[in-house]
Amino acid sequence: MRYWLMKSEPAEFSIDDLKDRPHQIEPWDGVRNYQARNMMRDDMKKMT
């Protein structure tokens, strides 16, 4: 099983911002690197 660590700059979106979101989820946009975008789209799955 693979695990992915996702990071953002605290000034852009902090862990406190995530905590305040309903269901503690938020879409990620603005990925400019095509390889990273494809990996996130094709290889990452939501854990249940």
**Residue corresponding to tokens 């990071």:** 7
pLDDT at 20: 93
- In the predicted structure, residue 46 carries a pLDDT above the cut 80: no
* Model pLDDT for residues 29-42, shown as the tens digit of each residue: 778 889 988 988 89
pTM over 0.75: no
Q: In the chain, what percentage of residues exceed pLDDT 90?
A: 10
Structure token digits, residue 27:
């879409």
Contact between 26 and 18 under an 8 Å Cβ cutoff? The reply is yes
Mean pLDDT of 3-15: 83
Dihedral sign, Cα of residue 22, residue 23, residue 24, residue 30 = negative
